[in-house]
A and B are shown apart, each in its own frame.
Chain A
Amino acid sequence: MEGYVDVVVLGTGLTESITASALSKAGYKVAHIDFNPYYGADEASLSLDELIHWVDERSSLESEDANSYLESQKSQFISISRSASKLPQSRQYSLSLAPSLIPSVGPIISSLVSSGVARYGGYRLLERVGVYDISGTIKAVPGSKEDVFKNKDISLVDKRRLMRFLMFAAGEFEDKKEIDGQENTPFLDFLKISFSLNEEIAAVIAYSLAYCVSASDTTLPALLRIRKYLHSAGRYGASSFLVGHYGGSGEIAQGFCRTAAVAGGIYVLGRRVTAITGPVPQPISEDESTKLSSYSVELEDFPEKLSCNLIISSQDHVLPHLLPTAKHIPPSTPSSGMQPYSFIARCIAIIDRPISFSQQSSALETEGIEDSASSLDEPPLQQNIDTAVLVFPPSSLPGGSATTAVHVLITGEACMATPNGKWTVYLSMPLLEHSSSPESILKPYLKAALSLTTPSSADSSTEPLFATYYIQRLRCSPTPSHPFPSRASDPSSTVLITPPPSTLLPESSDSATINAEAVFRAAIHTLRYVHSTAGSANFDDGETESFWPAIEADPADEADEW
């Protein structure tokens, strides 16, 4: 039947894109719509001009009576400011609204491989993770046996203790006595008491290995994260993380949309949905004998109406009148052992000098001596890093926060994120309340990072070429009075709202994937139910479809290269 699809998905954010791709590949007909003229929605990769337009659209003071999407966006992104400058080569920038790290082992990487989306894009290994020290320098983060061995700042006895902890964290600690009863104690205390680690090393582990955000973050979730990252090290290289080219998440979302289209999905960008009516019984077969409860979706400037049985939407894309009957899919990790942060302060800045991470000096004085026949491969004193994470633990910056850590991601040309000679700096800090402007909160951190850049000329200033600051309001976690409905509940709700991904740098993509799988299963559950009530199929929900269809191994993949 014309214009009939199984599912209409609204919003091409990472979660929705993964879901659309999985549903398409599972054989369902999907129409995927985004009101923006680009893929990725709140995780999009934008050119510089697109980012400026994004900022201006959401910071304008006009009221948005007719545009519920923009209204929702304006309540999500607040206190936005940006520098007035315009830079050339706008299209060579890929700026991410949701900077993320991809752990080498985990849901997102598995889905990228299983779905085939990994072939569409490039990925770069994170080169360095550093932690800002109150002395104004960047210290190395000892995350592996090799790092611990080489580190000159840790005493011998502390090395032994640190190794003991790392071995513990990498193993099956659930039954070990150290963790007994300690699951909910603050992680920092756990490290200091159970492993006799000093304040400094405990802080480095908590904030730059476990990506904790405050001293009150609890032990078990932090340990689970550390173990995941320790197991990720070595798979593609020394680092546990990959950074996606062209801004990461936005490009990945686009990749999933592409596979959805290849599997038969319809894509519409840059059109608004003007109306959704229904669900009413509509014929879906030629002889009009089988009727299914369907929605009718009208798009602006689109000749046909779309009919569908299920609507999946992000919180901002959904039309408000559907909300009362909609089912919110609960997020995968509602609290991750952290305080219920309501806001996150963000900054996206462009700089023209690289940040210098101190050379990890070896235990012997051997720098400067050419030792390798392939010396072209490895400039021995390389300090200028293209892709790195810098962590500011609480109280590491005079004038900065004494309670919350700031995580900074730096990406450059090698990630296809900027033109030659430029780097992007992303800063983020979770907030319990919104009382100051994001610029006043984050600018000191940006300045501190800039003070570590390698100056290229005598009169170089410590100002970024461009910067935008804003606060993102986080959707509320479930509370006792407003619990999310249980997952296995009633399949009759035919509007599903996707949960937003985690905002923690190394968790964001993985959480989007886990959420997408939950949405996928709920969608199939509902579609089968809908078909069974219309008599067109038996309600057979016993068999669980696998998230991705099996892929054949490609024998041509095994070419070695020297």
Chain B
Amino acid sequence: MHGVKRVGQSKEALGAKKQREQAKIKDYLALTDDLLSRKKDKDWSKEAFDLTTRLLQVNPEFYTIWNYRRSIMLNGLFPPSSPEEINSLLASELSMTTAALKAHPKVYWIWNHRQWCLENVPEGPGQDGADFHGWRKANWDRELYVVEKMLDADARNFLAWNYRRYVLASMPIQRPKVSELTYTTRKIETNFSNFSAWHQRSKVYTSLWDSGSLDPIKCQEEEFELVRNAMYTDPNDQSVWMYHRWLVGSGKLYITVGALRQLNSTAL
């Protein structure tokens, strides 16, 4: 966690801890051996699937097992199932990984697995119109909600921000970019010591300026005002100066040199 110091432990405490862990390690190694040999034997059964669940609860970073799990789904569980069953199987995958993310918010492989699940949601439930994307839309909306909860818990989780960009891009019905701007504003106002939020803002603005949806000059004037407020409130915060640097030196300088000079003279 940000800004939390590690606490040293006494020799006795460490020794006791080691002993408790021995038993756990033995179980873990046995389970690992079992699964890896099943994988080699192309065991696509439900039993194997459940074993992967157990192992991944203990060690969600074991990406081989995530791969095996997906193979089991593709080869063993999906073929005999109807689209509804596949959808509900993936839904339960998503809720399982949600729980895993609460405990391990920065493990790439969990996010990765979610992406795979989302991408494999079948078309449906209906044949046409809104229904055609029904399941997908529901899943992507829920995905955005999950990401927002993660960011509420830790607004500086850069994996979550990256994932947010992926989700926004993947939604079958796109949300307007301006609403993303509002979201970054909200996060910045809550605590402007947040590189990721400022970074997101810069990306959104770049795309809006390039597409011609917003006027760069007006935007930049407002952004300089915002940044100045942040600088005067807390001159020591680095993320503000980084954003300022982007505003000034992005190579797409739309304001005049005169305005720059004025900024220099009032900055502390």
* A residues at B contact (CB < 8 Å): 145-146, 148-150, 156-157, 159-160, 163, 362-364, 366, 369-374, 560, 562
Contacts and interface: CB of A to CB of B under 8 A. Distances in A.
27 contacts: A145-B234, A146-B191, A149-B189, A149-B192, A149-B233, A156-B232, A157-B232, A159-B232, A159-B233, A163-B233, A362-B185, A362-B189, A363-B225, A363-B226, A363-B229, A364-B222, A364-B226, A366-B182, A369-B179, A370-B179, A371-B181, A371-B182, A372-B183, A372-B186, A373-B144, A374-B145, A562-B149
A199 to B, nearest CB: 20
B257 to A, nearest CB: 22
A148 B141 CA distance: 34
B114 interface: no
B182 A159 contact: no
Given A156-B266, A364-B222, A149 B182 contact: no
A85 B229 CA distance: 51
A146 B230 CA distance: 9
Nearest to B183: A371
Number of chain B interface residues as a range: 20 to 34
Given A149-B229, A163-B234, A366 B181 contact: yes
A150 B186 CA distance: 11
Contacts of A363: 189, 225-226, 229
B102 interface: yes
Contact of A148 (B149, B179, B233): B233
A471 B263 CA distance: 56
A146 B229 CA distance: 11
Contact of A156 (B141, B148, B181, B229): B229
Nearest to B222: A364
A363 to B, nearest CB: 5
B193 to A, nearest CB: 9
Interface string B144-173: 110011000000000000000000000000
Interface in B213-255: 222, 225-226, 228-230, 232-235
Contacts of B148: 372-374
Interface of B: 98, 102, 141, 144-145, 148-149, 178-183, 185-186, 189-192, 222, 225-226, 228-230, 232-235, 266, 268
Contacts of A364: 185, 222, 226
B91 to A, nearest CB: 16
Q: Which of A366, A370, A373: most chain B Cβ within 10 A?
A: A373
Contact of B178 (A145, A148, A369): A369
A517 to B, nearest CB: 32
A372 B235 CA distance: 30
A309 to B, nearest CB: 48
A374 to B, nearest CB: 6
B230 A149 contact: yes
Given A145-B234, A149-B229, A373-B144, A560 B102 contact: yes
Q: Which of B145, B178, B229, B266: most chain A Cβ within 10 A?
A: B229
A373 B228 contact: no
Nearest to B186: A371
Going nearest first, the 5 A-B pairs with the smallest beta carbon separation are: A371-B182, A373-B144, A371-B183, A156-B232, A366-B182
Contacts of A157: 232
A163 B229 CA distance: 12
A145 B233 contact: yes
Q: Which of B181, B185, B226: most chain A Cβ within 10 A?
A: B185
A362 B187 CA distance: 12
A373 B141 contact: yes
B147 to A, nearest CB: 8
A157 B233 CA distance: 9
A562 B222 CA distance: 36
Nearest to A560: B102
Nearest to B268: A160
Nearest to A151: B229
